Amino acid sequence: MRSHLLNDTTAESYRRSVTEGVERVARKLATTRGPFTGVTPAELAPVIDAVDLDRPLGDASAALDELEDVYLRDAVYFHHPRYLGHLNCPVVIPAVLGEAVLSAVNSSLDTWDQSAGGTLIERKLIAWTAARIGLGPLADGVFTSGGTQSNLQALLLAREESGTADLSKLRIFSSECSHFSVQKSATLLGLGRDAVISIPVDRNKRMQSVVLAAELETCRAEGLIPMAIVATAGTTDFGSIDPLPEIAALAEEYGAWMHVDAAYGCGLLASLKRRHLLDGIERADSVTVDYHKSFFQPVSSSAVLVRDGSALRHATYHADYLNPRRTVAEQIPNQVDKSLQTTRRFDALKLWMTLRVMGADGIGELFDEVCDLAAAGYELLAADPRYDVVVEPQLSTLVYRYVPEAVTSPAEIDRANLYARKALFASGEAVVAGTKVDGRQYLKFTLLNPETTVSDIAAVLDLIAGHAEQYLGENLVHA
């Protein structure tokens, strides 16, 4: 069994194994016809059930053959131009290369003595990101597993910085379009059920700062404490960006921590054309960025940044075996002192390789392309009588709904849209997402692939209309 250990004596086997795996994936990518095969859980479960984990195959080729059936054939492929579903981007090759290197070396970023250079590389990327945001000289941060964890950590710091022992008094303000991890974090942080005050959005799905101001005033009048305001820079559904300068001013006035959730909108930090959309983000106390959403990085790659690095001390705990107190005095850079995680992947390497090969402008150019595509897609939808489109996009999502010419009940239109989404998924020809707007069923394109064209969008809209019409037609027959 020692022949399977990666070490000085097994370099040849490592090279062969990994090359074979890369070869299979490359072949797969070259031959996938659609983003998905449409396989159902009921069809796939028996294939996976049939695998006897207690009877190993012994060699990589056999395991890769099997992998074809249990995974590769029916995976959902984000690189395909008709994958328009969730916030998943196609990945850039330098990042995939970084991924291969980091998992082979297997550094763990919790302590210097498990990573060395990896620690400094992560620190440099945190400083780079903070500088792009404009957080100032005291800024710091740490890589995380994703936006959910980044938001949780930011709100933990906000809770601790509030200096309040009575958690029932703390309130968080975020728009009704903010990510559900805000509510989840509030619960995990022990705040009350009604700790999160949901602020309505305007017609462009941006937080109404006038309502925010009124709610802050009410909070103060009731003797409660405005712990944090979460501004979303790129809402998950609409890509809308809350009015950051106005929110920053209110946060200052009411002494609230300002967190900007830029999990999606962070791609603008590299944009050549649209960076101004983030103006005001530099006034945040903390910022969430998901490189795995708009920097074309593989999952996971995310970070939380803070204006005042000393706030990260709220995540510092010492363990004799790992990061004893003396290491602080000795100035040993142990990232675990800043993180909610202990053992932690060197995800930063992927971004490093990306910046070293392509540069930030390269990433920004790709992100600008998908934002341009969304603008063109909006024109298409707005001119199409079959569809109702919700807002003109600031980033790269489009939320729309098929509306048949013959007047049908809204509930029937809901069902037709839901049916169309499911039928499209089952066909494997394209993948789109769905969401609700004012209680009604809508569909969503998340455009993160620069290879997707306006004609792809047009073709998928035709497919959706076809499925929806089929549903309505059949239902008429049955009615």
How far apart CA 135 and CA 141 sit, in angstroms, is 11
Residues 6 or more apart whose Cβ sits within 8 Å of residue 250: 209, 212, 213, 216, 229, 256
Q: State the minimum distance, in angstroms, from the CB of residue 262 to ligand PLP.
A: 8
Q: State the minimum distance, in angstroms, from the CB of residue 184 to ligand PLP.
A: 10
For residue 421 the two structure tokens come to: 């989404």
| Tokens 């022990």 found at | 190
How far apart CA 261 and CA 286 sit, in angstroms, is 8
Q: Smaller CB distance to ligand PLP: residue 240 or 323?
A: 240
Closest C-alpha to 253, from 265, 242, 261, 245: 245
Beta-strand ranges (E) seen in 136-224 are 140-144, 170-175, 196-199
| Tokens 């992100």 found at | 367
Q: State the minimum distance, in angstroms, from the CB of residue 315 to ligand PLP.
A: 18
The single-letter code of the amino acid at 37 is T
Q: Smaller CB distance to ligand PLP: residue 302 or 323?
A: 302
Give the number of other CB atoms < 10 A from CB of residue 476: 10
Give the number of other CB atoms < 10 A from CB of residue 199: 26
Q: Smaller CB distance to ligand PLP: residue 224 or 443?
A: 443
Q: Smaller CB distance to ligand PLP: residue 146 or 393?
A: 146
Name the closest residue to ligand PLP (Cβ): 147
Q: State the minimum distance, in angstroms, from the CB of residue 227 to ligand PLP.
A: 18
Q: Smaller CB distance to ligand PLP: residue 86 or 318?
A: 86
Q: Smaller CB distance to ligand PLP: residue 155 or 219?
A: 155
Q: State the minimum distance, in angstroms, from the CB of residue 230 to ligand PLP.
A: 9
Judged by the rule CB under 6 A, the positions of this chain that interact with ligand PLP are 87, 146-148, 151, 179, 181, 232, 236, 261, 263-264, 290, 302
Q: Smaller CB distance to ligand PLP: residue 114 or 178?
A: 178
Q: State the minimum distance, in angstroms, from the CB of residue 292 to ligand PLP.
A: 6
Q: State the minimum distance, in angstroms, from the CB of residue 147 to ligand PLP.
A: 2
How far apart CA 95 and CA 99 sit, in angstroms, is 6
Question: φ and ψ at 375, to 5 degrees?
Answer: -65, -40
